Amino acid sequence: MSVTGRNVLIADDDASIRLVLSQALARESYQVRATGNAATLWKWIKEGEGDLVLTDVMMSDGNVFDYLPRMRMERPKLPIIVMSAQNTLLTAVSAAEHGAYEYLPKPFDLDVMIGLVRRALDGKKDFNASNQQRKAEKEERLPLIGRSLPMQEVYRTLSRAAGFDLTILIEGESGVGKKLVARVVHDYGRRKTGPFVTLSLAALDPRSLDQAIEGHGGKGIFAQASGGTLFLDGLADAPLPTQARLAHILSDRDRGKFQADNVRLIAASDRNLKDLVIKGSFREDLYYCLNVITIFVPPLRERMSDVADLARAFLARATKQGLGEKVLDKTGVQELETWSWPGNVRELENVMHKIAALSPDPVISADTIRRELFRERSLTHGSGVGSHDDDLEAVARKAIAKLIAQASALGRSMTDLHDSVIAAVERPLFELTLRETRGNQIKAAEILGLNRNTLRKRLAQLAVDVGKGKL
């Protein structure tokens, strides 16, 4: 008897490939029908047979790409895996353009093929994931996304500051969305009908700054932003001479020299400017010119409860852009929450868009996320067997060096450095191990190579949430 959702159609004019695939799929309890020509495959599909298709490109009676448009129209949800010995870019592109679920060049690894079949047949949208994605489609229209406490503080300050023309300084790491916050201030303020003009100060010399201010024919940056908002980006990377010139310009602006009193200023920095003032790398007079109201945008690692909403919103945007319709299930969310997101919201958006464009799976699960994040780690830290230990040591070395340098620059004495570093490493180590064991502390102790009483004591000392751990 056939099993619903596990019936595979194979089309290949090579009898040996049909035999190998049929036997391998049968061992996995799939029901298989095989043919050596495209016409028979098309007949089976029209009759409603099969839950998945494995097909070669070139067969005795023609090219399967000639049939694929009709197959997609007849059975739009039928996954079709194309395999070919013609391993060219044109073949892969043609398979994608014709709506194939995936393309696999010959010769292929049989385990890879079986895994692909399993993912294609198991990747059906579940109700909960689809329901969550529908909610995300509504939230995607919101200017800022997130319900976490740190974001609530951002919303509170925004709601009070948007209605006034006071200068705002937005601080936060690269990728957190500072320009987006500035845009929200503009769009919800009294100047929303005016222009929003951006000037990047990163590596800008004083002469270039003067040229931007004066413009061509009197149409300088203040004139362009008249009646609206001027957004000064990249403050922390502005050279000291440029900072001095900007402080002078803003002082003259207050006296009306540039006739720019009809412009609201919003500035942004990816580093704490007060710390830079202490170090002597940022001018104090400019800091106080700009620091009237400060909004701190938290890094994504400090608001991990927002990851699911953000990821689903980015998938919704990807769908609007034609990158593919995908939903994110619970396991996918859990996997996303294990990543530290050094690139913040921008990195998460890029990852979700990449998955939407390249993954054939309609449901994004932990496996899909894990594969993409592994590639991200490889690109960031390098690839190769045996490189993970070196990467971990390099990350630790860089973090500790930064900690010592910061303390030295601020004139602070270092005490208990060893204990502080060990505690910082132990917390994520214990939390991630407990997540892997689903809160089972006995298994966690075995994985860590610790006595369970020792683990229990350290968890209490570090105030780690053990959830439903077992002792």
**Over 60: is that where the pLDDT of 384 sits?**
no
| 118 burial type by CB count under 10 A (0-12 exposed, 13-18 middle, 19+ buried) | middle
State how far the Cα of 369 lies from the Cα of 330, in Å rounded to an integer.
12
**Over 90: is that where the pLDDT of 283 sits?**
yes
**Over 50: is that where the pLDDT of 255 sits?**
no
Average pLDDT over all residues of the chain: 82
Q: 270 CB contacts (<8 Å, ≥6 apart)?
A: 171, 172, 173, 174, 178, 234, 236
Question: Please, what are the domains in the chain?
Answer: 7-122 (3.40.50.2300), 149-298 (3.40.50.300), 301-381 (1.10.8.60), 387-462 (1.10.10.60)
Q: Give me the pLDDT at residue 429, please.
A: 86
Q: Give me the pLDDT at residue 140, please.
A: 53
pLDDT digits over 65-81, tens only? 888 888 888 888 888 99
pLDDT digits over 108-165, tens only? 888 888 888 888 887 554 545 555 555 555 555 567 888 888 888 898 888 888 888 8
Q: Give me the pLDDT at residue 286, please.
A: 94
State how far the Cα of 209 lies from the Cα of 200, in Å rounded to an integer.
10
Could you tell me which of 182, 192, 144 has the C-alpha nearest to residue 293? 182
pLDDT digits over 185-239, tens only? 998 888 999 999 999 998 789 999 988 887 766 688 888 898 999 999 999 999 9
pLDDT digits over 222-237, tens only? 888 989 999 999 999 9
What average pLDDT does the segment 280-294 reach? 93
What average pLDDT does the segment 417-442 reach? 81
- Please name the residue ranges forming H helices in 321-416: 330-336, 344-358, 366-381, 387-409
For 291, other C-beta atoms within 10 Å of its C-beta total 16
Q: What is the DSSP letter of 67?
A: T
For 14, other C-beta atoms within 10 Å of its C-beta total 14
- Which helix (H) or strand (E) segment holds residue 231: the answer is strand 229-233
Q: How far is CA 392 from CA 10, 121, 241, 335, 435, in A?
A: 45, 37, 39, 20, 20
